[in-house]
Structure 1
Amino acid sequence: MKHPVTLGGLIQVAIVVEDMDKALDHWCELFAIERPEVRVMGLPNADETYRGEPANYGMQLAVIEVPGQPVVIELMEPDDNPSTFREFLDKHGEGVHHLGFAVGDARDAVVGELAGRGHALRVEAFYPGGSWTVVDTEDVLGVNLNIKPA
């Protein structure tokens, strides 16, 4: 690739789950950590699209921070509305939905190059000071990519 995704930019492992409480029980026991806060993400999803259409879904989100590392493990339990997370869960069951990478100023170039290689945008979202873009790479990588500027 002309604009490669660097391994050093790995910032996130995102896992879709059916039952947040059950998943957190297992992860917290495995890592011997306190239970992280569970945030309820509601509707509407301003400035976010899912497969080119305005996004309209909710989910529960828990973030497990890795001490001393710039990486987090995110657990997501989506509602039944159409979303990239519901799509993955319905197709594959629980599992790693995406790996997130910070690519800095190369975000648009990386996303554009991946799109040019036939990888559709699943999600494009903007928030104050940032954005996240899920690129559909499941068929070739077995997982999607979340490309972020930082």
Structure 2
Amino acid sequence: MKNNIGFDGFIQIAIVVKDIRKAAESWAKLFNIPVPEIRDNPPAHNPDLTYRGQPAYYGLKVANIQVGNFVIELHEPDEHDSTFREFLDKHGNGVHHLGFQVGDKRDAIIGELEEMGYAMRTVGYYPGSSWTIVDSEDDLGVNLNIKPRA
């Protein structure tokens, strides 16, 4: 790639689970840390969120475990169509994506990945940044999350 994804931008491992409470407790026990807070994000119509090119409407429970310079994110999707539900239905529990912070190279990297055949699966915008899940699991065994900043 002309616009490389640097290892220094590795910020996240996201794991999709069927039971976030159980997973959060298990990770906490493994690391001997408090059980992380579980945020319940109910489905909402959000013009800044798409799934496979269409407006997305889904709920997601999320728990974050800070590990050094990166975070382990646990995701439990609801029944609505989403990248997380798609992954869980296809694979069961597992690593959904690796996240990379790439700064102002985000659009160039996304463009190159699309040229390589990796479609944007989900795009979300929030104040100050965005996230793009790139559909790379068939070739790489995992999807990529490309972010300008964390």
Counterpart of 2:63 in structure 1: which amino acid? A
- 5+ long unaligned stretches in structure 1: none
SS of residue matched to 1:112: helix
RMSD: 0.8
- 1:58 equivalent in structure 2: 59
Which deviates the most, 95-104 or 38-47? 38-47
Separation of aligned partners in 2, 1:88 and 1:43: 18
- 1:23 equivalent in structure 2: 23
Counterpart of 2:32 in structure 1: which amino acid? A
Counterpart of 1:7 in structure 2: which amino acid? F
- Quote how far apart the aligned CAs of 1:45 are: 4.7
The yes-or-no answer on 1:124 pairing with 2:86 is no
- 1:2 equivalent in structure 2: 2
TM-score by length of 1: 0.96
Separation of aligned partners in 2, 1:90 and 1:143: 15
SS of residue matched to 1:109: helix
Counterpart of 1:86 in structure 2: which amino acid? R
Separation of aligned partners in 2, 1:92 and 1:12: 20
Counterpart of 2:55 in structure 1: which amino acid? P
Separation of aligned partners in 1, 2:51 and 2:5: 23
- Quote how far apart the aligned CAs of 1:141 are: 0.6
- 5+ long unaligned stretches in structure 2: none
Deviations 1:75-100 (A, max 9, x none): 00000100000000000110000000
Q: Is the 2:13–2:71 Cα contact (8 Å) retained in structure 1?
A: yes
SS of residue matched to 2:106: helix
SS of residue matched to 1:80: coil
TM-score by length of 2: 0.96
Superposition misfits of 4+ residues, deviation over 2 angstroms = none
